[in-house]
Amino acid sequence: MSVSDYTETEGLPAADRTPYKPWSYDTASAKLYIPRLGAGQDRWFAAALSDQKGKAPSRLAVFAERPQHKRWEMVSVVDLDSPKLPDIALDHDGYATAVAADGNKHLAADANPLRTAVLDNFATGGTHTGRKVFTPTTASKRQIEVHDKTGTRFGDQGTTVFAGAANRYKDAYALKTADGGALVLFSHMHTQTDAVAHSGLQINPGKEDRAWLHDVPRTSITYMFVCNDAATVPAKAAPSRLIGYTCARTDASGPPAPSWSDRVQRTRAPPDGRRTFPAPCLLRRAPCPLALSSPAPPSARATQASTSSSTACPATTFPCSWPPTSTSSDATSRPCAGTSSTTSPSAGTNSAPISSTMSRPHS
């Protein structure tokens, strides 16, 4: 389980959490690529791993020594689209040859243009550099498909835009292949921003977003992704092959919809500076997970507050305070702790979803 998975799981109610099952690999079938390194060079190696004995590798991982932590750490792992691995060049002692992943003039592309091309696949569908740097593979086609399908799913009611983000993980690793090229492993970060097309619409987060968005409707949501990528690069001027990538969502944020503040009436802050809500205070749960919906007009909102009703999904009644005082794992992921109550839909409101639901951002 990654830190991202752990964060998302902690935001779920206890009943929705699945037991953690650690991923393990078969050491007997692991293929290790250990480079012969000189004095002063950082020590690392790559490993092709399988989760079952006798099964072809499904992941490619990089382990690096971290002297400051006095241990070795897995710093990158990529899910492979094919069990067929590139032919790594080995010397007479069985060691691999490490080559420069950045600034290598003996390769058709180093980590920087590869990273740029991957970002372009997400941002434009590969129209600028993605389709030029990479020959079509399962991995590159999947990135382009994420752009094409995710970017149009809201129709004229919303937009989705991908963009590169400041990369905190600039370490890249490369091993020489038998054909003179290299296997390059690198990381990138990108954002996915979903936004409503005009006022009167809102994006309702799903339960998978609760750890970051706390069930608060938004006018836009920006998701942050950290991804690991693996590509084979030829020595001559020719397209590279993206052989796998793995992304994890690490953050999500966005401005609350105006309807949120309209539904919650705050009282004066007491002397200690804490703000409290009238108890119980009614917070209408989103009609459907991550659906674009239109909030009710002010007259309808008054009716909703008095009848404790919603259009498509349960309402949630919280006897609450702000900030939350509960330390339970379920309560800390929501604006305030309380109990849920289901009510029937009310007539005359216009808060029903007006586009298809989006279960979650891409992965």
Domain that holds residue 269: 258-341
Residue 304 CA to residue 23 CA, distance in Å, equals 47
Residue 13: inside a domain: no
For residue 292, pLDDT beyond 70: no
Statement to judge: residues 101 and 230 lie in one domain = yes
Can you give the pLDDT at residue 16? 80
Statement to judge: residues 298 and 210 lie in one domain = no
Summarize the confidence of residues 346-350 as an average pLDDT: 31
Q: What is the mean pLDDT of the chain?
A: 76
Statement to judge: residues 234 and 275 lie in one domain = no
Statement to judge: residues 264 and 248 lie in one domain = no
For residue 146, pLDDT beyond 50: yes
Residue 58: inside a domain: yes
Can you give the pLDDT at residue 148? 95
Residue 332: inside a domain: yes
- Tell me which of 170 and 281 has the higher pLDDT: 170
Residue 139 CA to residue 245 CA, distance in Å, equals 7
Statement to judge: residues 145 and 158 lie in one domain = yes
Which tokens go with 80? Answer: 């492979």
Statement to judge: residues 220 and 288 lie in one domain = no
Render pLDDT for 90-110 as a digit per residue (tens, 0 to 9): 999 999 999 999 999 999 999
Residue 363: inside a domain: no
Statement to judge: residues 231 and 265 lie in one domain = no
Listed residues 253, 272, 302: the one ending a domain: 253
- Tell me which of 135 and 324 has the higher pLDDT: 135
Statement to judge: residues 249 and 104 lie in one domain = yes
Summarize the confidence of residues 286-305 as an average pLDDT: 40
Statement to judge: residues 244 and 270 lie in one domain = no
Statement to judge: residues 278 and 188 lie in one domain = no
Statement to judge: residues 167 and 144 lie in one domain = yes
Residue 10: inside a domain: no
Can you give the pLDDT at residue 311? 35
Residue 313: inside a domain: yes
Statement to judge: residues 222 and 310 lie in one domain = no
Number of folded domains that form the chain: 2
Residue 3: inside a domain: no
Instruction: Collect all residues with Cβ–Cβ distance below 8 Å to 135 and sequence separation of at least 6.
Output: 239, 240, 241
For residue 274, pLDDT beyond 50: no
Listed residues 187, 221, 253: the one ending a domain: 253
Residue 113: inside a domain: yes
Listed residues 231, 253, 275: the one ending a domain: 253
